[in-house]
Amino acid sequence: MRFFLATCLLTSAVAQAQDVDASDILFLKVQELEGEISALRSELEAQAYLIDKLLNENEVSSPPNIQISQDTSIPDNTFRFEGINDSQSIEEVYDQGISALNNKNFAEAKKAFGYLASNFNDDEKIPLSLFWLGEISLLESKLEESEDFFQNLAINYPEHWRTPLAHKKMGDILMMSDETEAAKIKYQFVVQTYPSNAASSLALQLLENME
């Protein structure tokens, strides 16, 4: 009987782990497209701060050194350019990426997000673009490339509201690479560092399934 219960629990744990990414991506897409803020207090405060900062910011610093492959380039005349970093062009590029992502046109979405990350400077849209680049690469089973995007987000934008989930995604990549102990350490990091974030709940669920 104990063996039967253990088998059932293990089967349920594997199924839950496989379903996490699909449900997570669906939630994120709805949140991005509808402009909703997470119900958790930490994400609400972080996103409100970043939106206010974007609207009121008059000066921006030099963009981080992010390496994007050449196949993400988009002809210059695709978007308007009063200035390389004008807000309308940023919104156009980002919205095109989201639209392509919603239509499951991952190649076009990747081009748009890669183009934005390579050519613009924005404390909100660049980290979001890096996040989606990581997600798309993960869907394409390009684990190393996906990890690079998530690491760029976490390193260059440690205070961004998507950084906790980027760390959790790196744990997922380690799990997919059969690096179970390293994944466990990464999940524990997420739980301990971002206890009030939704990513922490996801990481904790996976840790419990690993027991």
Express each pLDDT in 170-192 by its tens digit. Answer: 999 999 999 999 999 999 999 99
Average of per-residue pLDDT values in the chain: 75
Cβ proximity of 116 and 28 under 8 Å: no
User: Domain for residue 5, yes or no?
Assistant: no
Res 181: pLDDT: 96
Task: Please tell me the pTM assigned to this model.
Answer: 0.64
User: Domain for residue 35, yes or no?
Assistant: yes
User: Domain for residue 7, yes or no?
Assistant: no
Nearest to 206 by CA among 44, 11, 54, 14: 14
Q: What is the CATH number of the domain that holds 91?
A: 1.25.40.10
Domain that holds residue 179: 13-57+64-210
The per-residue pLDDT for range 103-152, each reduced to its tens digit, is 999 999 999 999 999 989 899 999 999 999 999 999 999 999 999 999 99
* Number of structural domains the chain divides into: 1
Res 38: pLDDT: 42
The per-residue pLDDT for range 145-174, each reduced to its tens digit, is 999 999 999 999 999 999 999 999 999 999
- Mean predicted confidence (pLDDT) in 188-211: 94
Res 171: pLDDT: 96
- Mean predicted confidence (pLDDT) in 17-41: 51
Cβ proximity of 122 and 54 under 8 Å: yes
